[in-house]
């Protein structure tokens, strides 16, 4: 059974721990934690659940001051006493703080526990501080820190297992496929039955290439499962051109229109289209123009008759 301490005295103990952390006195903090971890205040809270004015607890503050020994002890010895994914007033978790400070050693320690990534439990991707976006923004550290790649791979693994339909995951998979080094260095951390970057990236890059060239009819879509990601380019057409072999010799190019163009007024001056299509109806632009030709023809015939009579 836990020992109960008066709220005021309990808060003073935690305040002393916070002060020692800022002074980076890890040994003294560890002594106090080891002694008081089993105590509770009158509200039933332990020392790891008490926060300061910025909503930082002992672990969050230890990560800020990069006290690695203290962080490691709290993470592995006392993780059952509080939530490793608690957020402070700025919405940052202990994992986010470590990644911001490039402290991937402690980040990997935290990632041994799923609850260090609280966004895995959210039903939305509208997250102000997202761990996957943050780690992907630091690809410049790829060759400077061997632990960076391990941290990225671990976070991706969690997303693939617990949040495989997340648009945040889709977006960052696209970034990986377009990064020469990440695409070649990440696969060794994954089994191909979980994610095969070769099968994923090739269709994505093919679709992106067509989009960049200016074809708005290519849609890049991906269906995601916990075993694979698939990019499927889709192609649609507005209309097909009228084939040359379906036109008669007496058609006037300036007057012939494709009735399948939905009144778009597009002239059929080219060949092509589907080989199996049926012959299309051709209409004329102006009935008046047609009637004027008919009148000229009739007038010519009358003049011819007059000449014959005179003869």
Segment 168-189 shows an average pLDDT of: 90
Domain-ending residue, one of 90, 116, 142: 116
Query: Is position 20 within any domain?
Result: yes
- DSSP letter, residue 206: H
For position 200, what pLDDT does the model report? Answer: 81
pLDDT tens per residue, range 292-307: 655 665 665 555 555 4
At 286 the three-state DSSP class reads coil
Q: Is residue 281 part of a domain?
A: yes
Number of domains in the chain: 2
109-110-114-120 Cα dihedral, nearest 10 degrees: -130
Which residue range forms the structural domain that includes residue 283?
A: 244-310
| 205 assigned to some structural domain | no
Closest to 231 in 3D by CA, of 197, 264, 194, 259: 197
Please, is 114 exposed, middle or buried when counting C-beta atoms within 10 Å of its C-beta (0-12, 13-18, 19+)? middle
Residue at 99 is within a domain: yes
In a domain, 93, yes or no: yes
Look up the pTM and report it. Answer: 0.66
Helix (H) or strand (E) run with residue 219 in it: strand 218-224
Among left, alpha and beta (phi > 0; psi -120 to 50; other), residue 251 is: beta
Beta-carbon contacts of 287 under 8 Å, excluding residues fewer than 6 positions away, are none
Residue 113: the pLDDT is 97
CATH number for the domain harbouring residue 71: 1.25.40.20
- Please indicate, yes or no, if residue 218 is contained in any of the structural domains: no
Choose one of 97, 116, 135: the last residue of a domain: 116
Q: Does some domain include residue 233?
A: no
Confidence check: pLDDT of 280 > 80: no
Within a domain: 213: no
Q: Final residue of a domain: which of 81, 116, 151? A: 116
Dist. CA 58–CA 205, nearest whole Å: 45
Asked whether residue 82 carries a pLDDT value surpassing 50, the answer given is: yes
């Amino acid at each position: 059974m836990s020992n109960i301490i008066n709220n005021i005295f309990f808060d003073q103990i935690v305040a002393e721990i916070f002060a020692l952390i800022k002074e980076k006195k890890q040994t003294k903090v560890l002594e106090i934690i080891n002694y008081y971890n089993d105590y509770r205040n009158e509200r039933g809270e332990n020392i790891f659940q008490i926060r300061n004015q910025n909503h930082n607890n002992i672990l969050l503050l230890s990560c800020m001051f990069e006290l690695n020994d203290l962080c490691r002890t709290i993470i592995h010895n006392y993780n059952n006493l509080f939530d490793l994914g608690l957020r402070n007033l700025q919405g940052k978790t202990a994992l986010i703080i470590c990644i911001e400070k490039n402290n991937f050693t402690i980040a990997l320690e935290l990632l041994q526990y799923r609850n260090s990534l609280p966004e895995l439990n959210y039903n939305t991707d509208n997250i102000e501080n997202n761990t996957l976006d943050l780690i992907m923004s630091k690809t410049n550290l790829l060759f400077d820190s061997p632990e960076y790649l391990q941290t990225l791979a671990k976070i991706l693994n969690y997303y693939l297992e617990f949040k495989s339909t997340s648009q945040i995951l889709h977006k960052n998979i696209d970034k990986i496929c377009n990064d020469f080094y990440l695409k070649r260095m990440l696969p060794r951390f994954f089994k191909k039955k979980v994610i095969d970057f070769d099968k994923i990236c090739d269709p994505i890059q093919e679709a992106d290439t067509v989009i960049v060239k200016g074809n708005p009819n290519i849609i890049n879509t991906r269906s995601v499962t916990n075993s694979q990601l698939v990019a499927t380019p889709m192609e649609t057409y507005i209309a097909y051109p009228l084939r040359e072999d379906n036109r008669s010799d007496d058609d006037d190019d300036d007057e012939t229109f494709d009735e399948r163009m939905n009144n778009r007024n597009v002239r059929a001056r080219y060949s092509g289209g589907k080989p199996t299509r049926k012959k299309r109806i051709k209409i004329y632009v102006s009935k008046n123009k047609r009637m004027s030709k008919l009148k000229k023809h009739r007038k010519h015939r009358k003049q011819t008759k007059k000449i014959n009579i005179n003869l």
